[in-house]
Amino acid sequence: MSESPTLAQVLASLPEEERIILTLHYMRQMTSAEIALMLKVPERAVDAVISAGKARLSAVLGF
């Protein structure tokens, strides 16, 4: 029987930009606007990554 992946394993498997955005949002509790300013990307792009990441994490981790 295989073990379920941990949050750290799932995050490590993501592309670097997605991993950074999700880490800043969920672990550092930064807003989309703060992340967008910090990374110099549009806020809509940050929102899209957070939305897709949340769905991916939920599916993989069973939340």
Range of the domain at 28: 16-61
Identify the pLDDT of residue 1: 47
Name residue 7's amino acid.
L
The answer to the question of residue 48 being in a domain is yes
The answer to the question of residue 2 being in a domain is no
The answer to the question of residue 22 being in a domain is yes
Report the Cα–Cα distance between both ends of the chain, in Å, rounded: 20
Q: How many CB atoms lie within 10 A of CB 7?
A: 14
The answer to the question of residue 28 being in a domain is yes
- The domain total for the chain is 1
The answer to the question of residue 43 being in a domain is yes
The answer to the question of residue 5 being in a domain is no
The answer to the question of residue 6 being in a domain is no
The answer to the question of residue 1 being in a domain is no
pLDDT digits over 11-43, tens only? 888 899 999 999 999 999 999 999 999 999 999
